[in-house]
A = this chain, B = another copy of it.
Amino acid sequence: MTDTAPRPTLEAVAARAGVSRATVSRVVNGGDGVREPLVERVRQAVEELGYVPNQAARSLVTRRHDAVAVVIAEPEARVFADPFFALQLRGISKELTAHDNQLVLLLTEGRDDHARVARYLAGGHVDGALVFSLHLDDPLPGLIQGAGVPTVFGGRPGWSDGRAADTGPTLYVDSDNRGGARDAVRHLAALGRTRIAHITGPLDQTSAADRLDGYRDVMGDADPGLVAESDFTPAGGERAMRDLLDRRPDLDAVFAANDLTAAGALRVLRERGLRVPEDVAVVGFDDMLPVAEQTDPPLTTVRQDIEEMGRLMARLLLRRLDRPGGTGSGPGPRATAPEQDVPPGEPDGAEAAVVLPTTLVRRASA
């Protein structure tokens, strides 16, 4: 092979051997888990094509590192304290591993470190990024777009109305937060509750804002004193519940924006001698196990499949990377809605979204 001859690619070996790219990768890199006949076919194809399974050479040819960054826009302490993130990472990890891609989790102490994260993303160390828990005033999305790495977001990014238009489609995976919230509040109303309070999440996150919108869809112009802003943590749920009881001691139901917050609210209700659900009915959001099952009483909640959201984020990104032009220095070509084994989304001009349905799970608290 001379210097000017094109180097055979991993894809060429895969095509010659009649196996997947991942299988070739596994064989040439000495990994296990490939059946012997396949190993033999790959070895033969490698020999015939003169393929060089060298990391640097391979990266030059494929422009792929087989590595995907995950960025959670929260301090690392919160990443490890909230099981939501572990669940989403579980889905991502399974999907990336199934495609022999390395999960590269970039941890930070907080927002001040986001410029450094963007530099790492721009440094050519990963093929793409999965980003979640974005807050509205976070510079991260802009920095990531500047870094030019293909990205899939977890949760609808807050700037979707205008900002995305000139930089290509924004891919994201979300739950039907607004619809799920409506179901929760309608359930409480169907139980005959009329003074239904809402403990929100951080309203600079679209998931929390959408759940508040769903509450308002049903409650219309209810007393604003029935809404307390919180932060998705158990301690925040306790504080909000105390505020609500001080303001509206007559409340007869609470819809909490997530299960951790609901767990905090339940503790305060018990502390105040209020019975759940007799005096105050409570509904959460997430169906985070074991949290939702181990509260006292067990929590009625809106289920979203967090692990599946992670899996879909990874799948969308890998599909985008596999498309010609999917990697490189800028966003890929305008994506269409995801096809095959991905639920129908809500694509519009600037977005390709997958929005997963939610379900109400009834336990004892409402």
Interface residue stretch chosen among A28-36, A38-46, A280-288:
A28-36
- Specify how many copies of this chain sit in the oligomer: 2
Question: Are A106 and B104 in contact, CB atoms less than 8 angstroms apart?
Answer: yes
CB-contact partner of A97 in B56, B80, B109, under 8 A: B109
| Bound Cα distance from A56 to B147, whole angstroms | 13
Question: Are A105 and B104 in contact, CB atoms less than 8 angstroms apart?
Answer: yes
Question: Which of chain B's residues has its CB closest to A105's CB?
Answer: B105
Q: Could you tell me how many residues of chain A have their Cβ less than 8 Å away from some Cβ of chain B?
A: 41
Question: Are A93 and B107 in contact, CB atoms less than 8 angstroms apart?
Answer: yes
Question: Are B80 and A125 in contact, CB atoms less than 8 angstroms apart?
Answer: no
Question: Are B86 and A123 in contact, CB atoms less than 8 angstroms apart?
Answer: no
Question: Are A67 and B29 in contact, CB atoms less than 8 angstroms apart?
Answer: no
Question: Which of chain B's residues has its CB closest to A66's CB?
Answer: B116
Verify if A51 is at the interface (C-beta below 8 Å from B).
Answer: no
Q: Which residues of B contact A59 (CB under 8 A)?
A: 123
Question: Are A119 and B29 in contact, CB atoms less than 8 angstroms apart?
Answer: yes
Report if A102-B80 is in contact (Cβ < 8 Å); known contacts: A94-B109, A122-B55, A123-B65: no
Report if A107-B116 is in contact (Cβ < 8 Å); known contacts: A59-B123, A122-B55, A125-B65: no
Question: Are B108 and A107 in contact, CB atoms less than 8 angstroms apart?
Answer: no
Q: Which residues of B contact A97 (CB under 8 A)?
A: 108-109, 113
Question: Which of chain B's residues has its CB closest to A79's CB?
Answer: B86
Verify if A115 is at the interface (C-beta below 8 Å from B).
Answer: yes
Verify if A77 is at the interface (C-beta below 8 Å from B).
Answer: yes
Verify if A140 is at the interface (C-beta below 8 Å from B).
Answer: no
Considering only residues 53-95 of chain A, those with a C-beta below 8 Å from chain B are 55-56, 59, 65-67, 76-77, 80-81, 83, 86, 89-90, 93-94
Please give the distance in Å from A249's CB to the nearest CB on chain B. Answer: 32
Q: Which residues of B contact A305 (CB under 8 A)?
A: none
Verify if A103 is at the interface (C-beta below 8 Å from B).
Answer: yes
Q: Which residues of B contact A308 (CB under 8 A)?
A: none
Verify if A213 is at the interface (C-beta below 8 Å from B).
Answer: no
Question: Which of chain B's residues has its CB closest to A102's CB?
Answer: B120
Verify if A137 is at the interface (C-beta below 8 Å from B).
Answer: no
Q: 8 A-B Cβ contacts within 8 A?
A: A65-B125, A93-B109, A94-B109, A100-B116, A103-B108, A105-B105, A123-B125, A125-B125
A-B CB proximity, top 4 nearest:
A80-B86, A105-B105, A125-B125, A103-B107
Binding site for B on A (CB under 8 A): 29-33, 55-56, 59, 65-67, 76-77, 80-81, 83, 86, 89-90, 93-94, 97, 100, 102-109, 112-113, 115-117, 119-120, 122-123, 125
A29-B115, A80-B80 known, 15 other contacts, Cβ within 8 Å: A29-B116, A29-B119, A31-B115, A55-B122, A55-B123, A56-B123, A89-B107, A94-B109, A97-B109, A100-B116, A102-B116, A103-B108, A104-B104, A104-B105, A105-B106
